[in-house]
Amino acid sequence: MTLLVTGATGFVMSVMARHWLDSDPHARVVALDAAPPDEAARRYFSPVADRLKLVVADVTRPETWTDALAGEEITEIVHGATITPISRGTVAKARHEPEAEHPRRIIDVNVMGTVAVLDFARAQAGLRRVIYVSSGAVYRAHGPDRAGEPLPEDGYVAPRRLYGISKLASELIAERYGDMFGLSVASVRLSSVYGTMDRATASRNFRHVPNRIVHRAVEGATRITVNTLDAAGDYIHAEDVAAGISALLRAPTLRYGVYNIAAGVTTTTGALIAWAAEKFPGLHGEVVDAAQADIVQDAGLTGGMWGAYDISRIVAQTGWRPRPVRDAFDAYMEWIRTQRLG
C-alpha cells in the first residue's frame, strides 16, 4: 500500500507525507514534486527516508514521472501540487500582483496538473481514494447570510483571482472524473495554514500571520508593528491538516465531495502576539500607520473566506478534530525555536 503525494517537498504536503509515514510503520509514500528537496525537507524526511521515494518531475508532464511510479501499487493519492501566487503583508507587497507575472503557468499547473494526476489515477487498479487539496480561496469574501455562523461548504463560492478560480475548476474536474470513472474522490478546502515546514519555496512564498509573528519573536524583536490588532483569521496548523486528510483517506466511504479543513474559529492578531509574548517576554504589538507596519491586515474582512469555516462535515464523517488553536500555536513556536527555518 503506497500513498502518492504531489507537491510533497513543499509546505503542507511535506507534512502530509511525514504524517502518513509516522502513523503507520508499514506505509510507503511516493513524493512527486517539481523541486528537489531542500535542506529543510531532507532533514525533515530523514527519519522515514527508507519508506519514502522521491520523484522530481513536472506534474503537468506525466511522461516524465509515470514510468518512475510503475509497480508502486498506489492505493491513495493526495494531490497538492500547486502554484500559490499570493502577495500580502505590507503595503508595498499588497500593490504587487503576482498572478500577472505567469498567469498561463498558474492555470497549467493548478488545472492541467490536476487532470494529469486524475488520468494517472483512473489507470491504477488498486486505487482506493483521491483527495484533491483545494483552498478557502474558492469562497467569496462575505457570508454566511446569518452573521456569526461558520462558513459551510455549500454555497458562498465566488473566486475572483486565478488561484481560487483554478482551485474551483480543479474541484469540479475531480468530481467529474470520479463520476465518469468510478473513483472515490473528494476535495478539501483549507483555511489559513501555518506550522511545521512553513517556509518560502519555489511555488509558495507567502507567510501567514502566525509565521511572521513567531519568526519576529525568535529573531529577538521586542515589538511587532501592525496596522490593527483586531484582524482575524481561521488559522490551522499543518499537522492538523495532515491528520484531517488522513482521516478522509481512511474513511470507509465519503458522503460528500467537499470538506472544509480548518480550526473552525477565528483568532485575532492581537491574541497571537499576546500568546507569543508569554514565550518571549518583552514582545508586544504596536499599532502604526499601514505604510510603516510589519503586518498589514484589513480588520473589516470578517466573513466568507476570511471568517471561521464550518468543520462539522468532516467531524461527523471521521471524528477528526483540530487541536485548540492556542495549543497548536504553542507547538509551532517551540518548533520554530528549535528549527530556525528560513
Predicted local distance difference test score (pLDDT) of residue 169: 98
Q: Is the pLDDT of residue 61 over 70?
A: yes
Within a domain: residue 99? yes
Predicted local distance difference test score (pLDDT) of residue 237: 98
CA pair distance 86, 149, nearest whole angstrom: 27
- Domain of residue 174 covers 2-197+235-264+308-323
Instruction: Please report how many Cα atoms fall inside a 13 Å half-sphere around the Cα of residue 290, on the Cβ side.
Output: 12
Within a domain: residue 68? yes
Within a domain: residue 287? no
Residues above pLDDT 70, as percent of the chain: 94
Q: Is the pLDDT of residue 227 over 50?
A: yes
What would the grid cell of residue 272 be? 497571537
Give the DSSP per-residue string, 12-43. HHHHHHHHHHHH-TT-EEEEEESS---HHHHH
Grade residue 147 by pLDDT with cuts at 50, 70 and 90.
confident
Within a domain: residue 300? no
The rounded mean pLDDT for the chain is 93
Within a domain: residue 242? yes
Residue ranges in the chain assigned as alpha helix (H): 12-23, 39-45, 91-95, 103-107, 113-121, 162-181, 209-218, 238-250, 269-279, 312-318, 325-339
Within a domain: residue 288? no
Summarised one tens digit per residue, pLDDT across range 174-201 is: 999 999 999 999 999 999 999 999 887 7
> Residue 291 carries which DSSP code?
G
- Asked whether the beta carbons of 221 and 295 are under 8 A apart, the reply is no
Within a domain: residue 71? yes
Grade residue 50 by pLDDT with cuts at 50, 70 and 90.
very high
Q: By C-alpha distance, which of 286, 269, 273 is closest to 192?
A: 269
Q: Taking the alpha carbons of 9, 13, 15, 17 in that order, is the dihedral positive or negative?
A: negative
Burial of 87: CB neighbours in 10 Å, binned 0-12, 13-18, 19+: middle
For the chain, the domain total comes to: 1
Summarised one tens digit per residue, pLDDT across range 266-307 is: 999 999 999 999 999 999 999 999 999 999 999 999 999 999
What is the distance in angstroms between the CA of the first residue and the CA of the last residue of the chain?
A: 34
Q: How far, CA to CA in Å, does 53 sit from each of 26, 83, 193, 203?
A: 14, 22, 25, 21
Q: How far, CA to CA in Å, does 72 sit from each of 41, 124, 218?
A: 22, 10, 42
**For residue 63, how many other CB atoms are within 10 A of its CB?**
9
Summarised one tens digit per residue, pLDDT across range 236-274 is: 999 999 999 999 999 999 999 999 999 999 999 999 999
CATH at residue 252: 3.40.50.720
Within a domain: residue 340? no
- Asked whether the beta carbons of 8 and 29 are under 8 A apart, the reply is yes
Summarised one tens digit per residue, pLDDT across range 121-138 is: 999 999 999 999 999 999
- Asked whether the beta carbons of 1 and 27 are under 8 A apart, the reply is yes
Grade residue 101 by pLDDT with cuts at 50, 70 and 90.
confident
SS3 content of the chain, % helix, strand, coil (to 5): 40, 20, 40
